[in-house]
Amino acid sequence: MTIPLYSHEQEFQGYVPERYALKLECNGVAKLVRHKKGSINRAVLRRRPGDPKPTSLRDHMGQAYSYRHELDDGHRPWALRPLGHRTRHDQSHEYNLAPQSTRPIFMRVLLDCLVA
């Protein structure tokens, strides 16, 4: 009898013999999901130290350009993320949203978005 095998991200990997699934469970590599009557429904591999982290919707969407900014007085206005990386010594809230090297590109995109 074969049993479906799934990765730790719940992706179908294929079918394995029941004895192989039991061996995976004994070695702590997989978790077996059983029916109420005790028969094995599927085997799910456990996440191991070298495995990549599970993907999330945010991985495909990318990073947001705006975020809620905490001010000292308790207000939380929206702020724009800078296009470049801030340095550690730049702790003030005054920084360039578009570094000098990206300004021509930024301005071209901005001008292309304007309605005539």
pLDDT score for 61: 67
pLDDT score for 51: 80
pLDDT score for 88: 47
The series of mean pLDDT values per 10 residues for the chain, 116 residues long, is: 91 94 94 93 91 72 73 85 57 61 84 82
- Residue 62 tokens read as 């990318």
Q: Which residues pair with 56 in a beta bridge?
A: none
CA dist., res. 13 & res. 69, Å (int): 43
pLDDT score for 68: 81
